[in-house]
Amino acid sequence: MTPEQLTAAVESFIADAKAKAAGGLTVAEFGSLVIALLRLAVAGLDTMAGDGTDKKAWAVQMIGVLFDAVAFACVPWAATPAWLLLRPAIRSIVLAAAGGMIESLLPIVRKAAVA
């Protein structure tokens, strides 16, 4: 997969996620989107040459884009004031967790690619 193909695939994924979020999302659905995007990013990045640290940073950055695009859909209207205060901290937690998940997903994606 070329970098352009991966970028197009991620952009398409995020557009689909926005469409799903239009009707609202549960936290579990948001988590599923994060894992699916990470799997897509890891599978694509694993086929490219380059430094693993840079690849991981790019994948985490894409999770940040996903978070910015759809995380609000998980928040009930009544909780919006709290969301506005807590959003930066929650975003940091999600990105930190995504960084850790990449390490866990790498062997799974590689094993699936071989099979």
pLDDT at 39: 87
Instruction: Provide, rounded to the nearest whole percent, the portion of the chain with pLDDT above 90.
Output: 57
Largest CA distance in the chain: 48
Q: What's the chain's length in residues?
A: 115
Dihedral pair phi/psi, residue 76, rounded to 5°: -65, 150
Tell me which amino acid residue 72 is.
Answer: F
What's the whole-number mean pLDDT along residues 31-48? Answer: 88
**pLDDT tens digits, residue range 46-87?**
888 878 788 888 889 999 999 999 999 999 999 999 999 999
- pLDDT, average across residues 91-110: 86
On the question of pLDDT at 113 being above 70, the answer is no
